[in-house]
Chain A
Amino acid sequence: MKTLEVQNSQIFDKSAISFLKRNVFQQTVADELAGGGRMIALTPVDKSNPEKIVAVIAHNASSMIHIIGGKFENGKYEFESWAKEFPQTNYFECELSENYGYLPVNHPWLRPVRKQNIILGGKPYPFYNIEGDEVHEVAVGPIHAGVIEPGHFRFQCHGELVYNLEINLGYQHRGVEALFLKSNPAQRIILAESTAGDTTIGHTFAYCRAMESLSHTNLSLRAETIRMMAAEMERTAMHLTGLGGVSNDIGFALASSSYGRLRTLVINSLALICGSRYGRGLFVCGGVRFDVNEEIISQYKENLNVVLNDVRQINEYLFSSIGAVSRFEDTGAVDKKLAQSMGLVGQAARSCGLEEDVRIHFPYGAYRYNPVSMITLSSGDVFARARLRDLEMVEALCFVLDQADHLPAGELRIEPAAPAADSGVVSMVEGWRGEIAHLAFTDVNGELTNYKIKDPSFNNWYGLSLALRQTAISDFPLCNKSFDLSYAGHDL
């Protein structure tokens, strides 16, 4: 058996992975990718001893996750890059190379992921550049005009049109994954909450599920349902933020201020449950910390019904405005095939017509009993990305309101046991941006040997580059906001 097949957040024995020799490993991974697999991680099993690595490939059709091990002895960390045939693997290879010194031979574009040589001295990194009459270069960032996170953007333009956009990140690198190994469980949950502060619930969800699987802890349906409601609230709140952002970027003040008000209502409703507008403190390993009572539910339903009623009218107003739609349509379009080959996930993928949703392909928690519907649009432009968020938000609101009426009974939290020894787990959840994956491996004492996090932004930043091709540079803010990606989640 060359590959190990597991389900989402299913604990497995580390010894069940067979670590293949380089050539077999390369070929097996290539076969998996050719069979429609999507890479979600490429990382060592033990962070301090990188000679054994795993490639983790997700298969939507079968809802299975395949784990292929590779062993690279005598310090010869080289393999033939898959990226030429399967561009989706290129960034994973860059990351493995940067963190552990692996060399993907014949990689089309080996580049820094989080390292900042340009700033810290050392060898300057050569940005991709174009030469010719009237070609000019625009450099933006790391600090941007708004109150947002830092990142550097390098545009190669011909007049107003962008030929190429290179995105250079890493400014937010806080060493989250390294800290996971050094920290105790009480610290780890705060780290998970702070991995990307706009996806607090998404990342904490993935972390808790990973730890619960490693310790064979089963949650009550009540705890699972509260978690699912919180995740959908986060989705609603951030979609409102994003729609407010795109409205603001086209100067549509009435819509942007309305979305802002409604978002406040949603996150304040979350604070009713757990005290934090971002859901901090709600999740604990083994369940949830706070219960909901009649009083909270009634206040919560009152708020969300206002949001649902108002947002339908505002969406209708925004998307029937000729001025708005003409700015959205055909702006920053990404082709479906390209999106698939680059491995885009989440709402960026769904707006190109790709069916990618962890809640549906790899159902987890209470989503196993409460299916959500797959929403896709086909045009892949700013319009599709904005409209998709509108549709998803309304669905999420209805879903949460429905759940609030049928909360099952059960224990709120259970004390989890210690993580099992010599085991591993892949935990995936659908955050509001898309697929979040957390990988954990333990040693003989049940201590973590590697903790790998993949935020959907890791897949999707390149989508923004694609969207900008042959798009006017003045549309960059609008395109950027329509993708709404995380810097902290990428930089870790």
Chain B
Amino acid sequence: MNDAIKIRILQGDPIVHDVRNASFPSRYRGLPVFADKECPPGCNKCVEVCPTGAISLNPLKIDLGLCVFCPLCQETCPEKIIRFTDDYHVAAYPRERLIVGRNTKSIKPEAASEKIRKYFGKSLKLRQVSAGGCNGCELELTALSNVNFDLGRYGIEFTASPRHADGIVITGPITKNMTAALSLCYEAVPHPKIIILFGTCAISGGIFKDSEQIDRKFLNDNKIDLYIPGCPPNPLTFMCGLLDWLDR
């Protein structure tokens, strides 16, 4: 008993209290920003090195739905125009908000409809489906339930059965071999229901987008409600994104 109390005391108070203003290590790569100078004429070095084709020029834009936050563009840019900041608020809806341009100062999802907020605003149960996820995103989603993040304090939890869920969180690029199970799982969730895409692979296929083993038809057939970019996204990105979306 004494040992148990000792160990409980060791735990201290590890929870992140202010989830919207947490401090991140300076090398963390979140929202990219662009320095206020022109790209040298004809330079396309960032486009060439980007492993997932996330960058376009004239005007310069980075699609966070494709970006794997690898810093190659930041490292390569001869004018040091691209810089990843520690701003972890990158969840978005609609999809276009993930495209960062020169005028983008911050990213925030559009609030959900009144109906959705009324249904799920205070209690949201989610079923996670890994469809080719490498276990990076899965580990970050699991971390949401630990003592540091404690997602449950907002009434948001992961359920075992889709029957008990209000929506699904998809991780991974959606492999051919998971398409049937993914559809079955989504069908099993009662209406109204939502779909959240967690991680770059889920949003765009990421580094796997050109693989023959991927089948992303499910996403064309169903409405997506929230995009959480990252490789993998930080648990706080997910938390803040959901809270913003639910307008809480």
Q: Footprint of B on A, CB under 8 Å?
A: 114, 116, 119-120, 142-143, 145-150, 170-175, 178-179, 182-184, 186-187, 189-191, 194-198, 200, 241, 254-255, 257-258, 260-261, 263-264, 268, 271-278, 280-281, 289-290, 310, 313-314, 316-317, 486-488
Contacts and interface: CB of A to CB of B under 8 A. Distances in A.
Contact of B28 (A116, A174, A275, A289): A275
Contact of A313 (B10, B214, B234): B10
B132 A172 contact: yes
A317 B214 CA distance: 46
A143 B129 contact: yes
Contacts of B180: 119-120
A241 B140 CA distance: 12
Contact of B214 (A174, A264, A278): A174
B136 A194 contact: yes
Interface residues of B, number: 67
B177 A170 contact: yes
Given A149-B138, A179-B207, A289-B75, 16 more contacts: A143-B181, A145-B160, A147-B142, A149-B135, A150-B130, A171-B131, A173-B213, A179-B211, A187-B51, A194-B231, A197-B232, A257-B11, A258-B10, A261-B146, A290-B27, A317-B3
Contacts of B207: 179, 187, 190-191, 194
Nearest to B211: A175
A174 B4 contact: no
B173 interface: yes
Contact of B208 (A175, A260, A277): A175
A182 B213 CA distance: 14
Q: Is the interface of A mostly helix, strand, loop or mixed?
A: helix
Contacts of B231: 194, 280
A317 B7 contact: yes
Interface in B39-85: 49-52, 68-72, 75, 84
A99 to B, nearest CB: 13
16 contacts: A149-B133, A179-B210, A184-B51, A189-B70, A191-B207, A194-B206, A197-B137, A197-B232, A260-B148, A261-B11, A261-B148, A264-B14, A264-B143, A310-B10, A313-B7, A317-B4
A327 to B, nearest CB: 17
Contacts of B117: none
B141 interface: yes
B227 to A, nearest CB: 19
Nearest to A145: B160
B147 interface: yes
B133 A271 contact: no
Contacts of B11: 257-258, 261
A150 B178 contact: yes
Contacts of B71: 275, 281, 289
A186 B136 contact: no
A147 B132 CA distance: 13
A108 to B, nearest CB: 26
Contact of A198 (B70, B131, B136): B136
B160 A146 contact: yes
B173 A174 contact: yes
B18 interface: no
B158 A173 contact: no
B138 to A, nearest CB: 6
Nearest to A194: B134
A471 B50 CA distance: 50
Contact of A195 (B128, B134, B147, B185): B134
B213 A174 contact: yes
A272 B25 contact: yes
B211 A197 contact: no
A381 B181 CA distance: 33
B8 to A, nearest CB: 7
Interface in B186-232: 201, 206-208, 210-214, 231-232
B177 A200 contact: no
A171 B178 contact: yes
A186 B49 contact: yes
Given A147-B141, A313-B7, A172 B175 contact: yes
A268 B25 contact: yes
Contacts of A310: 10
A276 B181 contact: no
Nearest to A310: B10
Given A194-B134, A488-B133, A276 B177 contact: no
A274 B4 contact: no
B138 A275 contact: no
Interface in B1-39: 3-4, 6-8, 10-11, 14, 24-25, 27-29
Which of B24, B131, B136, B214 is packed against the most chain A CB atoms within 10 Å? B136
Contacts of A114: 177
Contacts of B122: none
A196 B130 CA distance: 13
A195 B134 CA distance: 6
Contacts of B128: 147
Given A116-B177, A172-B132, A271-B25, A277 B234 contact: yes
A119 B177 contact: yes
A297 to B, nearest CB: 14
A191 B68 CA distance: 11
Contacts of A487: 135
A275 B24 CA distance: 9
B24 to A, nearest CB: 8
